Amino acid sequence: MTAIAELPLTGLVVVDMSQFLSGPYCSLRLLDLGARVIKIERPDGGDLSRRLYLSDTEIGGDSTIFHAINRAKESFAIDLKDEADLAALRGLLAKADVLIQNFRPGVIERLGLDYEAVRKINPRLVYASISGYGEEGPWVKRPGQDLLAQARSGVMWLNGDEDQGPVPFGLAIADMLAGSAAAQGILAALVRRGVTGTGSHVETSLLEALVDFQFEVLTTHLNDGRRQPRRSAFRSAHAYLSAPYGVYPAKDGYLAIAMSPIPKLADLLALEELAPFRDQPSTWFTARDEIKAIIAQKIATKTVDEWLAILEPADIWCAKVLTWPEMMASEGFQVLDMLQTVTREDDVSILTTRSPLRVDGVRAKVDRAAPLIGEHSAKIRKEFGL
């Protein structure tokens, strides 16, 4: 990892016993803040996400998703059924600052590595647990998988048009949000440890993270008679926002229009058909499908750039809907310097993303790709006397 002394977590050791996405995403955020992440993997196959393919692309024997979320980490191969290996792991935990685990409830206790047991080894340790649905209730033993957590959270009923049924997000939002929440909790616990000298147990789950993700719309639901969210039937973009909020096809692409007053938009678009709605803001929601259909018909008559030239100077909140290639070619993206190339000695070279954070004006950068299984085992054993 490129040495940047200013990174706030430099010198801290994170032991990551998690797999797939939520825990590894959490440790990636800590790594980008300067922490050293030691990834515990099974000697026979390692993290299951090494074989979790988003496409048919494989690099160095592992999936691109594994590389993306485990860059610059160290791999320590441990057989959790071997007493000598478990003793070595306990020895490592005695000297670590943070432990992250996302085993199904009950598994970590059977290993003798639950919080109460580990706290006796290292009272200063910040211990983070991520589960699917918490530690109690009928869903505890259900698979804590992203799509299934989305299904149980209600979030799917906020996407798509009204007649589509539930629409899942095209990203592993439950995993990533739970990982982010855990990272926030870990950072807070580290601050408290700096004051009290003792660690903490930070817990979250995929479901809790998704409920928090929906805090705005759930609060509305809980206080408006608990009405079900009603998505727009035409070019829906938000179940609780009125017209013109949505994405509209233009001659050569798509234009997103956010919150904008209908009278102002009607004038700029020269839409006399919107006259009945000009002075009746309540209809901007109740008649949003009709209003959006009128707007869509007009937007289709010009190119995106032609509309931006009209709408942006008038302070209408709008933007061209970019593809990934368009985004990456844009100056707005390039100035952020969000990409980096990471490499490994076996000729692995991957272009991937960088930290979303800047500390004192500096964005952390690493040059090391994700590890081979057990690549750092010998080095770690020697360094920590295991």
How far is Cα 297 from Cα 275, in angstroms, rounded to an integer?
Answer: 16
**What integer pLDDT is reported at residue 3 of this predicted model?**
46
How far is Cα 30 from Cα 19, in angstroms, rounded to an integer?
Answer: 16
**What integer pLDDT is reported at residue 1 of this predicted model?**
45
How far is Cα 108 from Cα 369, in angstroms, rounded to an integer?
Answer: 29
Peptide bond into 263 cis (omega under 30): no
Q: What is the CATH number of domain 13-213+334-384?
A: 3.40.50.10540
pTM for this structure?
A: 0.91
**What integer pLDDT is reported at residue 54 of this predicted model?**
75
**Annotated domain spans of the chain:** 13-213+334-384, 246-329
**pLDDT of the chain along its 386 residues, tens only?**
444 458 999 999 999 999 999 999 999 999 999 999 999 999 999 999 999 877 778 899 999 999 999 999 999 999 999 999 999 999 999 999 999 999 998 999 999 999 999 999 999 999 999 999 999 899 999 999 999 999 999 999 999 999 999 999 999 999 999 999 999 999 999 999 999 999 999 999 999 999 999 999 999 999 999 988 999 999 999 988 999 999 999 999 999 999 999 999 999 999 999 999 999 999 999 999 999 999 999 999 999 999 999 999 999 999 999 999 999 999 999 999 999 999 999 999 999 999 999 988 889 999 999 999 999 999 999 999 99
Q: What is the DSSP letter of 81?
A: T
Q: Give whole-number Cα distances, 28 to 71, 177, 179, in Å.
A: 8, 13, 9
Q: Give whole-number Cα distances, 80 to 83, 84, 259, in Å.
A: 7, 9, 54
Per CATH, the architecture of 246-329 is what?
2-Layer Sandwich (3.30)
**What integer pLDDT is reported at residue 56 of this predicted model?**
75
How far is Cα 110 from Cα 354, in angstroms, rounded to an integer?
Answer: 37
Peptide bond into 244 cis (omega under 30): yes
Tokens 């499908």, located at residue: 289
Amino acid at 371: P
